[in-house]
Copies of this chain bind each other. A is one copy, B any other.
């Protein structure tokens, strides 16, 4: 069983991609919406929450953990790998791999939460493989609350995206990583603002592809019989969470409070 956790509902974009790529693999999701958002919080706090979330998924039978949150991936991956025996997949490396593959100019933009940008993990991972690449990062802390509110096409959201992307506009980037699992819900607005020539990378989709490949290479993690059970847990129950979940999956979602 694949266990996926996120600070809230943004990571459901990863779960959705996993459901599509691996429809016969059981999946369990935990969204920590009682403590959401993680992005503005300290690494210590994010690590504590990530440990607790992983323990929950392991108790429920997960054999593989996906950290479907860029903030937690940025600061908690090493701790989780040291602490737990199961494979831990994070959302950064798959997006980095894709960015390096498609960028021609070697100039890559990253947008994410404060925790993600401050950790410099995208820049470090890109430059470890391609030391000559230049990476330009911008923290966009208000985009998560705007998505959580469902303000996906409001004028104010466009203006705020405009303001955040402005410093990246004259950096001649040809690739922009959506380094937060909430941002795929704003793809159109971000693409319109950054320009058609810049290719967007959706870390959710890249992570799902990576997980699929990983399971093909580790068949012992795959159940012998098809089992399409997908269970979604959250640490709190709110109407907004149900609404955004429904929007992401395009179906009514049962969220079980754990």
**Bound form: Cα–Cα A156–B19 in Å:** 37
Asked if B156 contacts A41 (CB within 8 A), the reply is no
> Which residues of B lie under 8 Å from residue A155 when comparing CB positions?
159
> Which residues of B lie under 8 Å from residue A156 when comparing CB positions?
156, 159-160, 163
- Interface size counted on chain A using CB atoms at 8 A: 26
Copies of this chain in the oligomer = 2
Residue of B nearest to A41 (CB): B236
Q: A34-B35, A35-B35 are in contact. Are A40 and B159 (CB under 8 A)?
A: no
Among A130-189, those with CB < 8 Å from B are 141-142, 145-146, 148-149, 151, 155-156, 159-160, 163
Q: A34-B35, A34-B45, A45-B236 are in contact. Are A40 and B163 (CB under 8 A)?
A: no
> Which residues of B lie under 8 Å from residue A33 when comparing CB positions?
41
Asked if B145 contacts A42 (CB within 8 A), the reply is no
**Bound form: Cα–Cα A240–B240 in Å:** 26
Least CB distance from A35 to B in Å reads: 5
Mask, A215-258, CB within 8 Å of B = 1, is 00000000000000000000111101000000000000000000
Least CB distance from A120 to B in Å reads: 15
Residue in B44, B145, B240 whose CB lies within 8 Å of A142? B145
Least CB distance from A6 to B in Å reads: 16
**Bound form: Cα–Cα A142–B144 in Å:** 10
**Bound form: Cα–Cα A141–B40 in Å:** 17
> Which residues of B lie under 8 Å from residue A41 when comparing CB positions?
33-34, 236, 238
Residue of B nearest to A158 (CB): B156
Mask, A13-53, CB within 8 Å of B = 1, is 00000000000000000000111000011101100000000
Asked if B40 contacts A148 (CB within 8 A), the reply is yes
> Which residues of B lie under 8 Å from residue A45 when comparing CB positions?
34, 235-236
Q: A35-B35, A163-B156 are in contact. Are A237 and B42 (CB under 8 A)?
A: yes
- Can you list 9 A-B contacts with CB-CB less than 8 angstroms, sorted by A residue number? A35-B35, A40-B148, A41-B238, A42-B236, A45-B236, A142-B142, A142-B149, A156-B159, A156-B160
Chain A positions within 8 Å of B, measured between CB atoms, are 33-35, 40-42, 44-45, 114, 141-142, 145-146, 148-149, 151, 155-156, 159-160, 163, 235-238, 240
The 6 closest A-B pairs by CB, nearest first: A145-B145, A45-B236, A34-B45, A156-B159, A42-B236, A35-B35
